């Protein structure tokens, strides 16, 4: 089993089931002791902003704010540089603990030994 998991979530409210699956898998992995790095890209970029996860609703799914909190506590959450720029999101705007980084950092994380990468 991979000791590290990198998850890129490309969906937000536009594809709620796919979005929820990514956050759920990431949170379960973190709770299982896996080193998790969750990347917010595309429409999921909005969840880097305070209060935006609370607006997300999907029946029979764990609350997105709870999943995000667990990832911020025990994992890493990164907002894509280009996705942030397209939405005019800056480092001053994001939730404490969310970093902004680009493709080079994603590739480094995804290609590290013992790492499994998933894209939702």
**DSSP per residue, 23-55:** HHHHHHHHHTT-EEEEEE-GGGGGGGSTTTGGG
What 3-state class would DSSP assign to 2?
A: coil
Superfamily for domain range 4-119? DsrEFH-like (3.40.1260.10)
pLDDT digit string, tens, across residues 24-65? 999 999 999 999 999 999 999 999 999 999 999 999 999 999
**What pLDDT shows up at residue 1?**
57
Average pLDDT, the chain: 97
* Residues in the chain, overall count: 120
- Residue 2 has a pLDDT of 59
At residue 104 the predicted structure's pLDDT band, cuts being 50, 70 and 90, is very high
Cα(40)–Cα(49) distance, integer angstroms: 11
Question: pTM of the predicted model, to two decimals?
Answer: 0.95
């Amino acid at each position: 089993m991979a000791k590290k998991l990198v998850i890129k979530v490309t969906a937000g409210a536009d594809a709620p089931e796919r979005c929820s699956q990514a956050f759920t898998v990431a949170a379960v992995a973190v709770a299982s002791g896996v080193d998790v790095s969750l990347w917010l890209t595309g429409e999921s970029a909005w969840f880097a902003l305070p209060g935006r996860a609370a607006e997300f609703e999907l029946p029979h799914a764990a609350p997105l704010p709870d999943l995000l909190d667990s990832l911020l506590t025990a994992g890493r959450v990164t907002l894509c540089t280009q996705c942030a720029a397209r939405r005019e999101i800056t480092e001053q705007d994001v939730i404490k603990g969310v970093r902004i980084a680009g493709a080079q950092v994603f590739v480094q994380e995804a290609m590290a030994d013992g790492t499994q990468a998933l894209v939702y």
